[in-house]
Structure formats: C-alpha cells, structure tokens
Chains A and B, each alone.
Chain A
Amino acid sequence: MGSGGVRDSAASVSRRDAWARRLPLLPAFIYVFLLTQIPFVLTIYYSFFSWNLLKEGSFKFAGLDNYTRLITNESIRTAILNTVVLTLAVIAISVVLGMAVAMLLNSEVWGKGFMRTLMIAPFLIMPTAGALIWKDTLLNPLFGLLPYLLSPFGLGRVDWVNRFPMATVVAVEVWRWTPFMMLIILAGLQSQNPEVLEAARVDGANPLQAFRRITLPLVRPFIELGALLGSLFVVQTYDSIFMLTYGGPGEDTTNVPFLLYLVAFQGYSIGQASAIGVVAVIITILVATFALRTLFSIFQVEARR
C-alpha cells in the first residue's frame, strides 16, 4: 500500500516535471502550429471547390476539377520549369562565384575586412530596391549605365529585361545570393588549419591538387549548407520577378510563386490557387525531405562539436 502511494506520487511528480519542461515550449509551438498547419488543411479543403472571390455565391464543390485543370494547363508546367531553371541557375552560379570570392578573401590580400563589408551589401539591400536599381538605372536601354558601357563592343542599347528576361532575373538573383554563399563558404575556409595546406605544399602538391584534396573536402559541408538554404529561398523568388519582368514577357519568367499570385490575387480563383498551393507543397516535400534530412544531419554534426 505504502509503496504504491510512493509510486503514485513519483509518477505525478514526473508527470508534473514533464509538463514543467513542456510548458515554455507550448506558446511558440501552438503559435506556429495554428498559423501554418490549420491554413494548410484549409488549403487542401479549398482545392476541392470552385470559388471565385469576386462572384457572390460561386462557392461549390468541384471534386478534382482544379487538379485536372492543372495537369492539362500549360501555365503550371511552364511555371514549374521556370522555377527549376531559375533555382538551379542561381544556386549553381552563386555557389561557384561565392567560392571564388571566399577564396580571394581568405588569401593574403589588403583590406580583407573592408572587402567583406562591401561584398555583403547586395544581400542586405532590399530585394525590391535592388531589382528596380538594376532595371531602371543599370539596364535601362536609353539611360542605363550598362548599355552605355557595352556600346563600344557593339552590344549597346540592348533591352536586357525584355530580350533576355530569364537571364536578367538570374543575374540579379546571383548578384544577391553570391554574398550569401561567400559568407558561408568563407566561414568554412577560415576553419581550415593553414599548416595543413603548408604541409601539402612542402610535400610537392600543386595549388590545384591542394585545393581538390584538402580545401574542397573541408568546405564541402559548408557548400552543401549554403546551396540547400539558398535553394529553399530562391524557389520562393517573387519580389525581383514582380519588379523586373512581372512574370513576362508572356509567361517567360512566371515561376510557381508568381503564378500563384496571378491566380489568387489577379484572378481571385481561390480553388485553383489552393490546388497550386497543394502541388507546390507536394513538390517541396519531395525535394525537401531529402534536402532537410541532409540539412538536419549537418546541424546535428555542428551541434555535437
């Protein structure tokens, strides 16, 4: 009897202790849960309805109509393709450039700190502001600086934004994301022991061998981290497209977020927009299950250090 009572109170103490541990977590957890999971469930629900926000009483069950329309619709395929092209191009180019700049800033040069300070500016500038500066003051075919500078090479007065819309968006995003990659890779390079490189040089390794055998394996996790985080952001690119091309000309630069904007806020097709949302989530889950697991393992390794 007595021992049972002790066990009871021990259980209730541990239960109380478990709640005491959980309690500080709950406000944040509930907040995020309410504002992300419930809307997501509603998105799935709305995706089975036909509903135009501007038409009173147009809310009616539509079954899989929104999804069949997505499969037959050219726009969504174009948007997915544009999203993939934009993300891959931006991440690949900015990782390579970021690596190069990081190596420059990690070598024996004058004014490293100041160079780094100036270098991170493109990432800090408001993306909408950066995009407009590029479009109106640098690339403008009439008054822009770049067409003027390129005119001696027979390339002058090119309307970059309209003639090469995707390349322009990629260029502006690369300008913005290279500093991000540079920062992460530079942190990796700085964790390198310079004596190891020195030893390799003494052993007769040429710079290229030293880079491939020693530096690259060391910074690989940092490159992976930068590429993963970067792609999760770049997939969602919206501001620079809105400012530079507004998805055009035609649908040439319409990615999934921009298509969603067009359907939801220009067409007010709530059901259709929700179906796009569901498809976007499925794609993200497919890609991110792999990406996030990798990311998670990187974090775990870091946390254990």
Chain B
Amino acid sequence: MTTTQSTLRSKVLWSVVGWLVVFVFFFPVLWMWLEGLKTEQQAASSPPTIFFVPTLMQFQEVLSGDFPPFFINSAIASLVSTLLVLVLGLPAAYALAIRPVKRTQDVLFFFISTRFLPFAASLVPLYLLARDAHLLDNILALILIYTTINLPLGVWLLRSFLLEIPHDLFEAARVDGATFRHEILRIVVPLIAPGLAATSLTCLIFSWNEFFYAVNFTSSVAATAPIFLVSFISGRGLFYAKLAAAATLASLPVLLAGWIAQKQLIRGLTMGAVK
C-alpha cells in the first residue's frame, strides 16, 4: 500500500517537473504562434498581451505579400537536392554495403570528413565559380550546394539501412539473373523505405533551414524562406506580429515533417549510428 502510494507520489512529482521543463523549452514556439495571431498593437504592447481574440490577419498579409516566392524557392531547393541525394546516394551506399568495394573504410571516411569540412574551406572558390557561371541568385547554385552538403550524410545513412537487409535476398536475386537496376528497384527500394524516409527528412531539415549559402549566394530571384526573415532585422515600426506569422510559416514544413517522422529523426541526425 505504502509502496504504491510512494510510486504514485513520485510519478506525480516527476510528471510535474517534466512538464515544467518541457513547457520552458516549448514556450518560445508557442509564443511565436501566439504572436502571429495578434494584431501589431497587441504584439507590441507593454505589458505583453496574454489574453486576446486571435486573428489570422497577419498570416493573410504574409501569404498575400511577397513571401510565397521565397517559400517556393525553399521548396524547390530542398526537394530537388533531396532527390539528387537519393539518386546519387543509393547506388553509392549499395556499393559500400552490399558488394563492398576495396578501401570501403577509406571511402566512408572521405565522405564523412567532407560533411564536416568547414564551409570556409570551399566558400570563396564556390562563390567565384557561381559568379562566373552566372549562377549567383540562381536556385540551381543552392541545389548543387545542398546536394554536396547532404550527399555524404545520405550515403552513410542509406548504407546503415542496407546493412540490415539479409544478404541471402541479393544472392537469390542474382541467381535469378537480376540486373543491378532490377536489384535496386525491386529489392532495395521497397525494403529500405524507412531509410529513404529518414534520409529525406534529414536532408530536408538541413537544406530547408540552411542560411549561410542562401544569404550570400542569392539576392532576390532565388532567395529562400530564411532570407525573407532577414528583412525583419532592420524592420521599422510595428512588425512583431507579422514577423511571428512569417517565422511560423517558414518553420512549418520542417516542424511537421520532424513531428510526423520522429522515429527516423534520431537515426537521420546521427547518420545511422543510433537506431
């Protein structure tokens, strides 16, 4: 009796502590949502407005203004580069997992070291190359760069999923005379659907949220969602509610994808090391 009471008491205690901590961490996100639902006067009031009648005015204004092109650029850069990572990464991961090439370890090390090479290493030449190829302020430049950033991660991650496929399956397919393309499409793709999801999610997070190349390689035509937010830095007058609405919209795709694919998140972020 006393033990169940004390376990219950500890459960209540730790639940309260846990929810308080979670609330503190989640609060800025909640506050962003709330601010976006206020009028500018309410968002810039002192003391801060806690109770108010929500309005979608700011969201309407952001969506009917110049935000959509930025959002669409983000979508194009993220989706196309993610697709490229899958198309280039899957065969490479296959070559490193199923029928390992010589020096597999060295190749894996090469890939992971490029992922963590500081962007300082290649920034200036990439900028000059993009300038000379007339790719500045062109979404293609961002696509190519995001593919470079995410491809090493994709290779590692997909390889970790391929290693889990029983080897017999490939032997059987090869005995049946399956071609490489056949093997990939008929055996590999269906079996590592979770791996493709994890890779896509991780690539999406990194490319959607990427800022350094976006802000320095684009100006107006190819600018992505985070660049839209930069315009608020030097904002004059009342802009907090509109900023919060834009920040909410800009964050939405990754937030939703991350929440839906929580299972894949850890594995993706650790490049397959933690399952």
Residues of A within 8 A of B (CB): 18, 20-25, 27-29, 31-32, 35-40, 42-43, 46, 100-101, 104-105, 107-111, 115-130, 132-134, 136-138, 140, 142-145, 148, 175, 178-180, 183-184, 187-188, 222, 225, 229, 232, 235-236, 238-239, 242-243, 246, 256-257, 260-261, 264-265, 270, 273-274, 276-278, 280-281, 284, 288, 292, 295-296, 298-299, 302-303
Contact = CB atoms under 8 A, between A and B. Distances in A.
A43 to B, nearest CB: 6
B29 A122 contact: yes
B262 A129 contact: no
A143 B211 CA distance: 27
Contact of B211 (A144, A179, A229, A242): A242
Nearest to A235: B118
Contacts of A24: 91-92, 94-95, 180
A29 B107 contact: yes
Contacts of B102: 18
A292 B101 contact: no
Interface stretch (B52-60, B165-173, B192-200, B224-232): B224-232
B187 interface: no
A25 B247 contact: no
Contacts of B247: 125-126, 129-130, 132-133
Contacts of B22: 101, 115, 118-119
A124 B95 contact: no
20 contacts: A25-B96, A39-B129, A40-B121, A109-B18, A125-B254, A126-B226, A126-B254, A128-B209, A129-B226, A132-B233, A133-B28, A133-B31, A133-B244, A137-B243, A148-B46, A187-B274, A243-B233, A270-B124, A273-B124, A288-B116
Interface residues of B, number: 100
Contacts of A29: 92, 107, 110
Contacts of A32: 110-111, 114, 148, 151-152
Interface string B125-154: 111110000000000000011011001100
Contact of B240 (A117, A128, A143, A178): A143
A25 B107 contact: yes
Contacts of B120: 43, 256-257, 260, 276-277, 280-281
A127 B250 CA distance: 10
Interface string B243-275: 110111011001100110010011001111111
B266 A145 contact: no
Contacts of B148: 31-32, 35-36
Q: For the complex, would chain A's binding face be called helix, strand, loop or mixed by DSSP majority?
A: helix
B266 A184 contact: yes
Nearest to B241: A137
Nearest to A45: B125
B72 interface: no
A175 B25 CA distance: 7
B112 A118 contact: no
A246 B230 CA distance: 11
A125 B91 contact: no
A276 B16 CA distance: 49
B122 A35 contact: yes
Contact of A298 (B119, B212, B273): B273
A294 B14 CA distance: 35
A120 B216 contact: no
Contact of A138 (B31, B46, B92, B118): B31
A106 B215 CA distance: 40
B119 A126 contact: no
B205 interface: yes
Nearest to A141: B46
Contacts of B209: 126-128, 239
B65 interface: no
A129 B44 CA distance: 18
Contacts of A222: 274
Contacts of A121: 25-26, 29, 255, 259
A264 B145 CA distance: 18
Given A138-B28, A184-B270, A36 B95 contact: no
A126 B225 contact: yes
Contacts of A105: 18
A234 to B, nearest CB: 12
Given A28-B91, A132-B229, A175 B28 contact: yes
A147 B266 CA distance: 35
Given A132-B243, A260-B120, A178 B211 contact: no
B47 interface: yes
B123 A232 contact: no
Interface string B40-84: 000111111000000000000000000000000000000000000
